[in-house]
Amino acid sequence: MSTHDYLRQRFFPHMWCPGCGHGTVLNSLLRAVEQLGMSKNEIVMASGIGCSSRISGYVDFHTLHTLHGRALAFATGVKLSKPELNVIVPMGDGDALAIGGNHFIHACRRNIDITAIVMNNRIYGMTGGQFSPMSGVGINATTAPFSNIDREFDVVKMATAAGATFVARSTTFHAQQATDLIKQAILHEGFSVVEILSQCPTHFGRKNKLGAAADMMQHYKDITVPIGSSKKKDNPDLIERGIFVQEEAPEYCREYDKIIEQAMKG
């Protein structure tokens, strides 16, 4: 199988703006499943609503394009009924940590074997550039024309605190690293979270005068360092990339099967 074989080419050209980071994330995802030698039939993708969630239309897996913020709830149902399938959930800011925030922390807590890819562009792109829980203080958005005063979530810290057993971060500039992290997340048995900083040049970039898509990707290179880099000591604002959490813990579907066995014995 080549990466093209995993695509529904009849739905191209895609709807993303030129330079949108989500195409790069799709590329990293396809390379990950190709390198793992996965069959299309063993993957289920459930997504919510937003530019990032449109990925589920372009991949030729079993796909569900569901409600805003509810992708993890649908994915949990799929995984419990068909635990042998690999379930992947691409999410944007809102799906993961605004309307979907409760689903996110409880999926982390349960440690169900689902791979969540959080495509963090710090804005609601599809609906016109409103600020999101990831935007951060001082950011301009259509709903914050005089700058945003809300502090942002840290996806890695949130997922770690909620109990996810695999937590990682990369960016669209570091596409090969993103591929590797997605591969490891898919192989991990438990709830895995991969945050990928993904540029929205149309709204976030334009509102905040960050230049073209290539400039925004260069910015990701400049503001991130590998975990443990000595540069972080000199500049605490640098954002770390890599694997933050990778640990074994009882997986939810397996634990649920044990309960069913007990119940069957009476």
Q: Residues in the site for ligand SF4, rule: CB under 6 A?
A: 16-17, 20, 22, 51, 121, 125-126, 200-203
Least Å from the CB of residue 209 to ligand SF4:
16
Which residue lies nearer to ligand SF4 by CB, 79 or 203?
A: 203
Which one, 22 or 110, has the nearer CB to ligand SF4? 22
Between 44 and 55, CB nearer to ligand SF4:
55
Which residue, 55 or 164, is less far from ligand SF4 as judged by CB? 55
Q: How many CB atoms lie within 10 A of CB 249?
A: 12
d(CA 68, CA 50): 8
Q: Is the Cβ–Cβ distance between 199 and 188 less than 8 Å? A: no
CB of 142 to ligand SF4, least distance (A): 12
Question: Least distance in Å: CB of 39 to ligand SF4?
Answer: 29
- Which positions ≥6 away from 173 have C-beta within 8 Å? 217, 218, 220, 221, 224
In the complex, least distance from residue 93 CB atom to ligand SF4, rounded to whole angstroms: 10
Residue number with CB closer to ligand SF4 (164 or 213): 213
Residue 195: CB atoms within 10 Å: 28
Shortest distance in whole angstroms from residue 2 CB to ligand SF4: 25
**Residue closer to ligand SF4 (CB basis): 52 or 115:** 52
At its nearest, how many Å lie between ligand SF4 and the CB of residue 203? 5
Contacts of 151 (CB under 8 A, 6+ apart): 136, 137
Whole-angstrom CA distances from 87 to 8, 84, 127, 143, 167 are 18, 9, 27, 34, 16
